[in-house]
Amino acid sequence: MKKKLSVPNDLSEITLGQYQKFHKLQEQNDDPYFVQCKMIEIFCNLDAKAVRQMKMSDAERVAKIINDMFEKKPPLMHSFYLNSKEYGFIPDLNNISFGEYIDLDTHISNWDNMHLAMNVLYRPVKDKIQDKYLIEDYDLDRKDELLEMPMSAVMGSIFFLFRLGRDLSKTMASYLEKESKVDLTAFLTFQENMDGFNQYMHSLKGVLKDLKISLS
């Protein structure tokens, strides 16, 4: 009996854990046929034997659908449901704690640990009035729950942070150009902060390049 082929058409149908599994295999193997086989196997929930028995034309069509899906740039998802529980994006990034920032900055550049970064950004909603909500405190013990979160939320949050950082960089650079006199201490502080910021942006660029997505 043949297993019915279910091809995902949207990033919301793929979990972070599935992508982490695929990414690790992709990094470890340069054989395009092996990678294509694993792509279909993981994202379509088929065993290796079933994939190998597919018509070549069907396999190529399915692989193209999946590849095209990963080239999309989804918007920020403010919330999503996982196991009947609502998770919300951190409402105010300005109030992020030092420890939360360290964990986010440490893990967001590594796909193997992306669920740890997402654990900083998305947490269970504990109170909600219309579109306003409060999320639970940061909890490291909750990290593995987000292996099942949708890739649409993962990629949407990464793009959001990248655009936010890019816009901030442009704004600060424009401000310095317009100011005829800039306090030396303020300038050096800004430059020091920008060094760390540029490193953070480099991490985000690396993550997006892993997905082979254009940054333009």
Whole-angstrom distance, CA of residue 26 vs CA of residue 39: 9
Section 95-108 average pLDDT: 89
| Domain edge (last residue) among 27, 43, 70 | 70
Whether 143 maps to a domain, the answer reads yes
Q: 153 is in which domain, residue-wise? A: 79-210
Section 83-103 average pLDDT: 91
Q: Are residues 96 and 48 in the same domain?
A: no
Q: Are residues 40 and 88 in the same domain?
A: no
Q: Are residues 24 and 55 in the same domain?
A: yes
Whether 178 maps to a domain, the answer reads yes
Task: Answer yes or no: is pLDDT of 66 > 80.
Answer: yes
Residue 109's pLDDT band (cuts 50, 70, 90)? confident
Q: Are the CB atoms for 123 and 136 separated by under 8 Å?
A: yes
- Pairing verdict, β 122-129 and 132-135: antiparallel
| The token pair that represents 88 in the structure block | 């919300």
Residue 80 in 3-state DSSP? strand
Q: Are residues 97 and 204 in the same domain?
A: yes
Whole-angstrom distance, CA of residue 37 vs CA of residue 34: 5
Whether 2 maps to a domain, the answer reads no
Task: Answer yes or no: is pLDDT of 195 > 50.
Answer: no
Dihedral angle sign, alpha carbons of residues 12, 13, 18, 23: negative
Whole-angstrom distance, CA of residue 152 vs CA of residue 156: 6
Q: Are residues 170 and 101 in the same domain?
A: yes
Structure confidence by residue, pLDDT tens digits, 159-172 = 888 887 776 555 54
Task: At 145, give phi and psi (nearest 5°).
Answer: -60, -35
| The token pair that represents 156 in the structure block | 């949407």
What per-residue confidence (pLDDT) applies to 176?
Answer: 46
What per-residue confidence (pLDDT) applies to 190?
Answer: 43
| The token pair that represents 201 in the structure block | 């942006």
Structure confidence by residue, pLDDT tens digits, 19-31 = 999 999 999 998 9
Q: Are residues 61 and 85 in the same domain?
A: no
Q: Are residues 181 and 205 in the same domain?
A: yes
Between the two ends of the chain, the Cα-to-Cα distance in Å is: 46
Whole-angstrom distance, CA of residue 80 vs CA of residue 78: 7
What per-residue confidence (pLDDT) applies to 170?
Answer: 55
Whether 3 maps to a domain, the answer reads no
- Please count the structural domains in the chain: 2
Share of the chain above pLDDT 90, in %: 52
